[in-house]
A and B are shown apart, each in its own frame.
Chain A
Amino acid sequence: MEAFTTHTGRAVPLRRSDVDTDQIIPSDWLKRIERTGFGAGLFSAWRADEAFVLNNPVYSGATILLAGPDFGTGSSREHAVWALQDYGFRAVISARFADIFRGNALGNGLLPVQLPAPTVEALQTAVEGDPNVEITVDLVAREVRGAGVTASFELDDFTRWRLMEGLDDVGLTLRHAERIAVFEGTRPAWSPTAS
């Protein structure tokens, strides 16, 4: 996983609430067995509409998505995160994220930044006024700066450290393999097995 410390880039406003992962990456794309190449499918149904914000050339090259509340609801598909990253996004800012999407994003180094709805709206308005304005997402200081806004966000120390080091969870957990084996010895004998 690519480490995340601080990122500065231009942003694109997506003024829609309840953006579900079926919209982020439609199910037809889920048949692929690779982990890359999903950027072409990002919001593909909506991108068929010329007026959709990602089709506006003034936002091309933006790396921060300013989304409406309840972003990433629905399906657990991690492909949604892979699509956002493959398209070029490094961070998504929203008033609230769906739990599974948030976990998937943190697992891949796509930073989900939760800010109060009025702050997200202020950023959206600023970017709509000047698409070239740059926004900094600073994980070290846990702060978003730019477009006249300075706002701190919450993220627990452990997750922040893991993202800043670019560590994946499997490697961290395998350090506790002995504890897992001890726990396994305490499971009830009647616990079911699949095979």
Chain B
Amino acid sequence: MGRTLAEKVWDAHVVRRAEGEPDLLYIDLHLVHEVTSPQAFEALRLAGRPVRRPDLTLATEDHNVPTSDTLLPIADPVSAAQVEALRKNCAEFDIRLFPMNDPGQGIVHVVGPQLGLSQPGMTIVCGDSHTSTHGAFGALAFGIGTSQVEHVLATQTLPQRRPKTMAVTVEGDLPPGVTAKDLILAIIARIGTGGGAGHVIEYRGAAVRGLSMEGRMTVCNMSIEAGARAGMVAPDETTFAYLAGRERVATGAAWDEAVAYWRTLASDPDAEFDREVVIDAASLTPYVTWGTNPGQAAPLGSRVPSPQDYDSPAVSASVERALSYMGLTAGTPLSEVAVDTVFIGSCTNGRLSDLRAAAEVLRGRRVAQGVRVLVVPGSMRVKAEAEAEGLDEVFEEAGAQWRSAGCSMCLGMNPDTLRPGERSASTSNRNFEGRQGPGGRTHLVSPAVAAATAVTGRLTAPADL
């Protein structure tokens, strides 16, 4: 029987297989940031163990870093100490680090791809659940905890149980105005926050083939919000064109050899998935979340649901609780929900094409009175590229704030947060209670919807401006 993409990548990385035990997988790339690594480095020190492959390890400062006044010392002493700990650890263990203000610095899941480090067929891990982003290249990429960060630092391997496989096939083409973000929100709404549990999802079909690499990264990024271990897209010409010429990618005969291997990775025609879901792209419209988990999403053209719409008492209770936290009334058109803040950025939607999509909507328009708009590029390179195109001027002329790179308001570990009761339209990935600041209320949207919302002050699709 044929094998799926995930199974091929898995099989190519098994260092040791023993009956009844998890497979020991070799890890090709380990990405590190300041939040989930200090305890792992400390454990290495206590055990007197070195980092096995510093050359396969890359660190960046992203979660804590301020996105304004970045030349000043970090004001929060706890954040500053954590960033300082990463610098000391990287120096001690000889790991390449992109510190704040370095032109290479950025969100870990933006930095890997832009360097060409994230490549088809690789195993990639990071102490961050959105590591699934790198699956867009046909890599097997997944988030790990700090004990596993320690394990990879010490051994360059991880013991892992073989996951199940799931195909999500998106047939047809996305209608105009419907983006990768809308697609993944619709997929999560369909299969639920636990729908992918124990599985690696492979996204397939014409609509996925038609996405740019950056769009594929947006889709794979949010696989974890469906509970999946990882998300993947088989590499194709779009992948190779993105990679060619990037800093860490092979050239000449080695490039040809790599591409020849990458072409073998696609799932075999007779491969069987443990579960298959089919989505009709033509039926999709811009999506937004209304609740407190990413599965609680609906078309922007619809209304806030009612707890009574659901048969299961447990689901009803969860919807009721979500509406109460969000301060929403069942039956309200989503397009009438007013926001205080718009956040454009994150590892989900902080890349150049995302900023272009938002700028396209904001060009020649003004941000609504009283709405705060933060535009935070995913990396310093994205920032420089956007500025070279004049996007910073488009944002600033519209009344938005143009910031430096980092995770920023996606999780509010730096000074960019919502105040209690404030409501945002956010291009990030999680609308959990308090995610963007205690008491804050988050609606997940695409960059285009975020920009249109900035103009009107309520959830708005660009087509309705």
Contacts and interface: CB of A to CB of B under 8 A. Distances in A.
A110 to B, nearest CB: 11
Interface stretch (A128-136, A146-154, A169-177): A169-177
A74 B272 CA distance: 28
A195 B93 CA distance: 13
A6 B78 CA distance: 38
Contacts of A192: 28-29, 116-117, 119, 248-250
Contacts of B363: none
Nearest to A157: B20
Interface string B136-170: 00000011111110110011110101000000000
B197 A99 contact: yes
Top-9 shortest CB links A-B: A78-B145, A104-B145, A33-B38, A190-B250, A194-B58, A76-B143, A195-B96, A190-B254, A78-B146
Contacts of B20: 156-158
Interface string A56-69: 00000000000011
A190 B255 contact: yes
A100 interface: yes
A194 B96 contact: yes
Given A100-B129, A193-B56, A22 B435 contact: yes
A180 B155 contact: yes
B293 interface: yes
Interface of B: 15-16, 20-22, 24, 26, 28-29, 35-36, 38-39, 42, 47, 49, 52, 54-58, 63-64, 76, 78-79, 81-82, 85, 95-96, 116-117, 119, 122, 127-129, 142-148, 150-151, 154-157, 159, 161, 193-194, 197-198, 224-225, 227, 229, 248-250, 254-255, 257-258, 261, 293, 295, 314-315, 318, 321, 411-413, 430, 432-435, 438
A22 B430 contact: yes
Size range of the chain A interface in the assembly:
35 or more
B118 to A, nearest CB: 9
Contacts, number: 200
Contacts of B435: 22, 27
A33 B40 CA distance: 10
Given A18-B293, A78-B146, A190-B254, A68 B39 contact: no
Nearest to A176: B16
A46 B249 CA distance: 47
Given A30-B413, A170-B154, A195-B58, A78 B430 contact: no
Interface in A156-195: 156-158, 168-170, 172-174, 176-177, 179-180, 183-184, 187-195
7 contacts: A30-B63, A31-B81, A170-B154, A180-B157, A184-B156, A188-B261, A194-B55
B69 to A, nearest CB: 19
Interface string A65-84: 00011100111111101000
Contact of A176 (B24, B38, B293, B314): B24
Given A74-B432, A99-B197, A173 B155 contact: yes
A193 B15 CA distance: 19
A17 B96 CA distance: 41
Contacts of B148: 103-104, 107, 169
Contacts of A32: 78, 82
Given A76-B129, A78-B147, A173-B155, A35 B15 contact: no
Interface string A97-116: 01110011001100000000
B387 to A, nearest CB: 26
A130 to B, nearest CB: 23
A169 to B, nearest CB: 5
A43 to B, nearest CB: 11
Contacts of B38: 33
